[in-house]
Structure 1
Amino acid sequence: MASAVTGAALTLPAVGVAQQASAAPWLCLASEADIYAAAPARVNGDPGDLLACRQVTLPGFSDIRMKAWKVRYVSTDVKGAKTVATGFVAVPEAAWTKGGSRPVVTFHPGSSGLGPQCAFSKQMAGAYVDHYEGPNVAEFLKAGFAVAATDGAGYIDGQVHRYMVGHSAGNALLDIARTSRQIPGGSLRSDGKVGIAGYSEGGQAALWAAQLAASYAPELKVAGAAAGGVPGDLKVTAQRLNGGLFAGFAADALVGHNAAYPAMPFDELMNDEGAKAVEDAKKLCLFGTLGRFLGARVENLTKDKLTVDQIWQLRGPDGTWGELADRSKLGVDIGTPGSAATYKIGFPVFQYRGVLEEIIPTETEDATRAAYCKAGINTTWNQGYPGEHLTTDWLAAGDVTRFLGDRFEGKPVAGNC
């Protein structure tokens, strides 16, 4: 996966995507720089509109014959404004033989780190740093599914990844499913079924996409969603992570929320060490972040030695930090299509975690599953994988693929609430 992207890319003219974000490409001739260029002052087009594409190879999947493209597309931020997101689309060359159009799995990776070099699409296309999701993508492709993998919002020039901001992640995940059908000369069709998948950060994104699908992307034929290792309540998760071995995830979440809500008090709260820590977080990928913030406590990074609970109470133009964290809490105001709930889910959901989970508090994973069951959503639950957080992602890959494959084929599932 460390090998470079093969082949030379043709460059768009100077009037390219960075300046005119609304012009759909006729061919996938964007340069690498075009894909990740800064967003224009005004982003035109509808959510999911393809803005630029570039055909690439994915070195980690050399045993699977496919076509793949990096994509730049329109998405929506937490305030409903149009923004730019990136990712990749991969389509197996072998014919789809199970009836209907080829389905697509819209996929959000687990935590990558905030540095621009950490974008999932960059790592899978050869600029490998330390990502671990390749085996999961390979399972989908070997099953014949297309994969539309988002980087999530904020991996373009001049921005920071909106780490753990639920609505933003869910929107980006649904939008890239739309984008996958627009690639010039591509074979994916609008009547193809869609599966939603992700683990850890990607698991939160997957369930937000599931909750938003009916209202945000009603034209997508979502057949099912699979989400594992889900940090369903950011307050519970941050409290557990602060000062521990995995405090880097809490650091990224704070910086990611500041990127999503820049008017909220943040930089002015930091002491010199905190200011340096924020800048470091914006440059590092996953393992670098975990090493940098090993044992870090937010109290030591703020001028007034603020605790996590005190930060939640701080108010700004968008509310308190606690209220903003609660906006990403999963399982709130959800229901079936016939209910009066804000978020309606009319397809089966698979949720899972490992027996040895050591990063995400198991009480929030369990509570998310319980909320889905209470709402009457068809939920299959597996808490028996014999792994800790990272290995459970791989241990469950076959079950996730089979679960989505059965949904694509229209097979019923009763759930086990």
Structure 2
Amino acid sequence: MVAAAVITGSGTAAADDVALPTPLPDPFYAAPKNIADLKPGAIIATRARTNPPAFFDVRTYQIKFRSADSQGTPIAAVTTLLVPTRKRADGPLLSFQHIINATGLECAPSQALWTQDPNLTIREAPGLNVALRQGWTIAIPDHLGPRSSYGAAKLGGQITLDGIRAVQRFTPAQVAHSRVGMAGYSGGGMATAWAAALAPTYAPDLRIVGAAYGGVPMDLIKMAEGLGYDNPHPAFGLAFAAAIGMSREYPRQVPMLDHLSPLGRQMFSGMRNACTNDILRLGAGHDAQQVTTGGRAIFDDPDARRVVTENGLVNYQGIPRTPIFEWHSPTDVLIPVAAIDQTLRRYCRAGVRVQRLRAPTPDHMSAAVVGLLPAFRYLTDRFEGTPAPSDC
């Protein structure tokens, strides 16, 4: 689940002022000096890994590739690739954007797959294993990037697309001419939805046959208003963590450290390398007024408001070319459901084939489970060339 940044103010900042996550000691993640000379999706390095505990009958690789951050500056990103031991050449390729609620690099899939992340091992691994047994190759990108820029949703779309490019260039995967599908829920759904919307202009070379996403926060300003802007909220930690992520990705526009109260600085320090549980624990029951000085300035600061708005898909006018399967709980209180409706109506008017599932469950996380297998059935049909249905 991803929330918009709710804490910032006017002023100036540079990247050195922002508390970046502690770098991973593994040199595999380092960017090469010549990265600016590489094209998006170019492979920088690869390595074989032991299989993650939740997966079997696969060969596992990690690929480091060239992508770009929100300002277009080249970055090194990583995707983890699961290749079934029994598959056909150019069989289906799924880019699966995992839910990552994190400000720490050790929470990214390329690390967490080996540390029993409950989202993957309990909720998502069974469905992914079914897809692997069907011969799908699955890529799981670290879509928050090398700064764990939680909340910077457009970045996640770019990394997803460049990760697909890299995987298709990786000869051992045998997916150079595969049909490509994308899937994800909540924050992973946001990266998936952004990838689908960006693909026609950012990666027109990719053959994407379908995108399935659910529980997507599409209006980050509205979401910020609902997660502890005026009153304490049990999930305020998600909003605060997203503020950290946005300040890392946009240090000049979101100079977060300039406006934190002592409590805010304490929370900032505690969340510098945090995963979901610590983020929720540290932020529970707080709000924006408690952690800032001089008031809550994000909605008064035009630069901060602009970058948060730009990362809400409801405001992006690009139109996907691929068919879409979308699902969410109609009573989800964590995401602005109206923004989903508004965005998909615009897609329908533009001729996109959209199928929707209103999950018969009352909350955000249970809807993830309800919609995952229908989403995979939808993508199975797209891989087989069945015409996409539409509820438009």
Distance 1:39 1:95, change over 3 A: closer
Structure 1 partner of 2:72: 80
Structure 1 partner of 2:227: 241
Residue 59 of structure 2 corresponds to residue 67 of structure 1: yes
**Aligned amino acid, residue 87 of structure 1:** T
Residue 99 of structure 2 corresponds to residue 110 of structure 1: yes
Distance 1:313 1:143, change over 3 A: farther
1:235-291 CA distances to partner (integer Å, 9 max, x unpaired)?
Answer: 011111123121122112111111111122321111222122122222211111111
**Aligned amino acid, residue 127 of structure 1:** T
Residue 192 of structure 2 corresponds to residue 206 of structure 1: yes
CA contact (8 A) 2:51 2:58 kept: no
Partner Cα distance (1:240, 1:249) in 2: 11
Query: What secondary structure sits across from 1:363 in the alignment?
Result: helix
Residue 111 of structure 2 corresponds to residue 122 of structure 1: yes
CA contact (8 A) 2:359 2:367 kept: no
TM-score between both structures, scaled by the size of structure 1: 0.81
Partner Cα distance (1:128, 1:290) in 2: 19
| Gap regions ≥5 residues in structure 2 | 1-23
Residue 180 of structure 2 corresponds to residue 186 of structure 1: no
Greater CA drift, 381-390 or 190-199: 381-390
Which of these residues, 44, 55, 60, is aligned with residue 51 of structure 1?
44
1:319-352 CA distances to partner (integer Å, 9 max, x unpaired)?
Answer: x211111111214454xxxxxxxx2422210111
1:352-408 CA distances to partner (integer Å, 9 max, x unpaired)?
Answer: 102452322322333333332233321111113325211221221111111111111
Root-mean-square deviation (Å)? 2.1
In proportion to residue count, which structure has more helix?
2
Residue 161 of structure 2 corresponds to residue 174 of structure 1: yes
Identity in percent: 27
Partner Cα distance (1:267, 1:38) in 2: 27
Residue 328 of structure 2 corresponds to residue 328 of structure 1: no
Distance 1:42 1:114, change over 3 A: same
TM-score between both structures, scaled by the size of structure 2: 0.86
Alignment of 1:27-38 (within 5 A): 33-37=26-30
CA contact (8 A) 2:145 2:159 kept: no
CA contact (8 A) 2:144 2:152 kept: no
1:233 Cα deviation from its structure 2 partner? 0.3
Distance 1:256 1:195, change over 3 A: same
Distance 1:390 1:136, change over 3 A: farther
Q: Which has the higher contact order (CA 8 A, sep 6+)?
A: 2
Which of these residues, 80, 83, 90, is aligned with residue 91 of structure 1?
83
Partner Cα distance (2:362, 2:52) in 1: 28
Moved over 6 A (4+): none
Partner Cα distance (1:303, 1:395) in 2: 42
**Aligned amino acid, residue 413 of structure 1:** A
| Gap regions ≥5 residues in structure 1 | 1-30, 335-342
**Aligned amino acid, residue 336 of structure 2:** P
Partner Cα distance (1:37, 1:203) in 2: 27
Distance 1:39 1:291, change over 3 A: farther
Structure 1 partner of 2:249: 260
Distance 1:236 1:36, change over 3 A: same
1:56 Cα deviation from its structure 2 partner? 1.3
Structure 1 partner of 2:4: none
Partner Cα distance (1:41, 1:321) in 2: 32
CA contact (8 A) 1:122 1:128 kept: no
Alignment of 1:367-382 (within 5 A): 367-382=342-357
Alignment of 1:275-294 (within 5 A): 275-294=265-284
1:163 Cα deviation from its structure 2 partner? 1.4
1:42 Cα deviation from its structure 2 partner? 5.1
Structure 2 partner of 1:410: 385
Alignment of 1:11-22 (within 5 A): none
